[in-house]
Amino acid sequence: MAFPCLVSVLVFLSVIGSCFSYERDNLIDSCWRGDRNWQKNRMKLADCAVGFGSSAMGGKGGAFYTVTSPNDDPVNPAPGTLRYGATRERPLWIIFGGNMNIKLKMPLYIAGYKTIDGRGAEVHIGNGGPCLFMRNSNHVIIHGLHVHGCTTSVFGNVLISESSGVVPVYPQDGDAITVRISTNIWVDHNTLSNCTDGLVDVTLASTAVTISNNHFFDHDEVMLLGHNDSFLDDIVMKVTVAFNHFGPNCMQRMPRARFGHIHVANNYYEPWGKYAIGGSSHPTIISEGNMFIAPNESYKKEVTIRVGCTSSNCDAWEWRSIHDVFLNGAHFIQSGKEYTGGESFKAESGKEVPTLTRHAGALKCVPFTHCL
C-alpha cells in the first residue's frame, strides 16, 4: 500500500505547489515583492530601482516616520502630518498609520532623502487640492500612492523645508507629481489619474529619474520631460520610463520630451487619444520592448509626434524602436542614427509586457503575505 500512498503524497504536494506558484516579476518587483515580511524590510525597496534613477536612496538609513493625520497646515505643519515629515531635514522613511484621504492646501514640498511609502495603507492624495512637488530635492522615492484630482494652487506661503523655511510661492499648475531642479528621483507603483496638468512632470535640468510600475489613466497630458524649447539646460536630463501601464483614456505625452535622453522600455500602451510618445528640441528617445495597441482610427496609428522640426532636422533626432510590439496597426517612425546601446537597464521583449506590467499601480499589501 506504500506506493499509492506515495503517489497521493506527490499529487498533494504538486497541488499545494501550484497554489503558491508565483508568476515571474519584472526586474524591480522581483527584488522585493516576493518578501512576505515586506513590512519588516521596507528599506529593501531602495535597492530595487533600475534605470537612470536607480541610485535614488530615498530615506534609506534614516528613521521611520508614521503619518497619523490627513490634516494639512502649509506653514506650520503638525507632527503626524505628511507635510511635517516631508519637510524635515534628516532622511526619513515615511509610512502611513492607516488608510487616508489627504487634501493639501498648498503643494507638498518634499525635501531630499525621503521615501513616501504607501504600502500597507490605501492613501489618496489630491481630491481637489494641489499635490506632490520637488524642487532642489535629491534622493526621493515615491511609492504606493493613489494621486488623482490634483488642481492648481494659489499664490501663498508654504514651508519648503526646515532649512529653507516658509517662502511665498507662485501658483502651481496642478500636476500629480512635479520634479524640478532635482536628481535621483524614483516614482514607482503609484496609481495616477485625472489632474489639471501633468501626472509626472520632470523639468528644469532634473536628471537621474526613473518612473516605473505606475498606472496612468483618465488623463490628457500624462508626462512632460523638459521645461520649454529654449531651456537648453534640460540637455542633461536622463529619464527611464519602464513597466508602466498607460490607459484607458490617456490622450497624449507618454511621455513628451525635450532635449535629454529618455529610455522608454517595457511599458503597456492601451489605445491613446492623440499620440503616445512625442517631443520637440531633438531629445533622444529609445523605445525598447514596449507593447503599443493603437486606437481604431486609421489616422492615429503612429506612436510618435515630432513638434517643431523640418523634415531635414527631424531626420537627425535619434528616436529608435527596438523589440517593440505593435498591435492594431500601430507603427513607429524612426529617425537618427541606429541605436548602439547605452540603455539604462536590460529591457525584455515587448511580448513579455502584459506579464511585466500586470501589477502596475499602487499594490495592496497585507502584512505576512505578498503585495498584490
**Sole binder of ligand NAG in the list 34, 79, 98, 128 (CB under 6 A):** 128
Q: Find, among 240, 248, 284, the residue nearest to 266 by Cα.
A: 240
Stretch that binds ligand NAG, among 64-72, 161-169, 227-235, 362-370 (CB under 6 A): 227-235
| Nearest-angstrom CA–CA distance, 92 and 66 | 10
- Does 194 bind ligand NAG (CB under 6 A)? Our answer is yes
The nearer residue to ligand NAG, 53 or 295, going by C-beta atoms, is 295
Stretch that binds ligand NAG, among 3-11, 93-101, 131-139, 225-233 (CB under 6 A): 225-233
Binders of ligand NAG in range 303-322 (CB under 6 A)? none
Size of the site for ligand NAG (CB under 6 A): 11
| Nearest-angstrom CA–CA distance, 212 and 81 | 27
| DSSP secondary structure of 190-229 | -EEE--SS-SEEEESS-EEEEEES-EEESEEE-EEESS-T
| Residue with nearest beta carbon to ligand NAG | 149
| Nearest-angstrom CA–CA distance, 151 and 128 | 6
User: For residues 47 and 101, is the Cβ–Cβ distance under 8 A?
Assistant: no
| Nearest-angstrom CA–CA distance, 107 and 156 | 10
* Burial readout 270-290 (b: 16 or more C-beta within 10 A, e: otherwise): bbbeebbbbbbbbbbbbbbbb
Helix (H, G, I), strand (E, B) or coil at 44: helix
**Sole binder of ligand NAG in the list 32, 231, 251, 309 (CB under 6 A):** 231
- Does 227 bind ligand NAG (CB under 6 A)? Our answer is yes
The nearer residue to ligand NAG, 3 or 170, going by C-beta atoms, is 170
- Does 228 bind ligand NAG (CB under 6 A)? Our answer is yes
Q: Find, among 194, 187, 310, 198, the residue nearest to 242 by Cα.
A: 187
The nearer residue to ligand NAG, 162 or 297, going by C-beta atoms, is 297
Q: How far is the CB of 227 from ligand NAG (least distance, A)?
A: 6
The nearer residue to ligand NAG, 227 or 306, going by C-beta atoms, is 227
> Peptide bond before 255: cis, by omega within 30 degrees of 0?
yes
The nearer residue to ligand NAG, 157 or 194, going by C-beta atoms, is 194
Q: How far is the CB of 295 from ligand NAG (least distance, A)?
A: 6
Active site residue 253: yes
Binders of ligand NAG in range 257-296 (CB under 6 A)? 271, 295-296
Helix, strand, coil distribution of the chain in percent, nearest 5: 15, 35, 50
What is the residue type of 306? R
Binders of ligand NAG in range 136-155 (CB under 6 A)? 149, 151
Look at the chain and count its residues. 372
- Does 37 bind ligand NAG (CB under 6 A)? Our answer is no
Catalogue the active-site residues: 253
Q: Which residues bind ligand NAG (CB under 6 A)?
A: 128, 149, 151, 194, 227-228, 230-231, 271, 295-296
